Chains A and B, each alone.
Chain A
Amino acid sequence: SQKIEQNSEALNIQEGKTATLTCNYTNYSPAYLQWYRQDPGRGPVFLLLIRENEKEKRKERLKVTFDTTLKQSLFHITASQPADSATYLCALGYAGNMLTFGGGTRLMVKP
């Protein structure tokens, strides 16, 4: 079965730096990959989607890359702010199937 690995340890960075979160998967590549943000006690909120034929996607300070050779997606937040502190989940989607979520990585941005 598909296994998704996100760093379970919290990522601590200084305000203004770029945060980079990793999502690795095993087996076959997904048709698309999504990233969600989740604040404590709340449901996840969609941020970005990238399809298998796309290398990179950007939205404001966010950037996602998708490397099917490495079986990896990287999620970048540039000029990070304390308000970016949250847990970030990646989710893999396969044609005809539902999303499979990773365990998430907690990001802490310190002022």
Chain B
Amino acid sequence: DVKVTQSSRYLVKRTGEKVFLECVQDMDHENMFWYRQDPGLGLRLIYFSYDVKMKEKGDIPEGYSVSREKKERFSLILESASTNQTSMYLCASSFNQLLGETQYFGPGTRLLVL
């Protein structure tokens, strides 16, 4: 079974803090994704990566950065957390998105920024 794990289920941070969200997948997938999910807005893509050290902006990259130093690990960084970044963050991976491959999601991290 594909497994995507995220470093924390719940996180509370203060405004201005630097926040790291880690995601690890164990299926040797090429593609990895970071989404945020808010009520009424669905899943919105923040960043994705199709290879080690490669990254592409999604729909809402402002205020975020990412890092992919190893194939299995994709990190989301909030350089200076703000209250409007309070959300559920979901990581996903897939083998080949261009062919319609399934995305496998982690359990999510619920982040609260005070």
Contact = CB atoms under 8 A, between A and B. Distances in A.
A43 B100 contact: no
A101 B100 contact: no
B58 interface: yes
Contacts of A98: 33, 45, 48, 58, 97
Interface residues of B, number: 24
Contacts, number: 54
Nearest to A50: B100
Interface in A90-109: 91, 93, 95-96, 98-99, 101-104
A43 B97 contact: no
A43 B42 contact: no
A41 B90 CA distance: 11
A104 B40 CA distance: 9
Given A8-B40, A43-B105, A99-B45, 20 more contacts: A32-B100, A34-B100, A41-B110, A43-B4, A43-B90, A43-B106, A43-B107, A44-B105, A46-B103, A49-B100, A49-B102, A51-B100, A89-B43, A93-B97, A96-B98, A98-B33, A98-B48, A99-B103, A101-B42, A103-B42
21 contacts: A8-B40, A41-B108, A41-B110, A42-B107, A42-B108, A43-B92, A43-B108, A44-B43, A44-B103, A46-B102, A46-B103, A49-B102, A89-B43, A91-B103, A98-B45, A98-B97, A99-B103, A102-B42, A103-B40, A103-B41, A103-B42
Interface of B: 4, 33, 35, 40-45, 48, 58, 90, 92, 97-98, 100, 102-108, 110
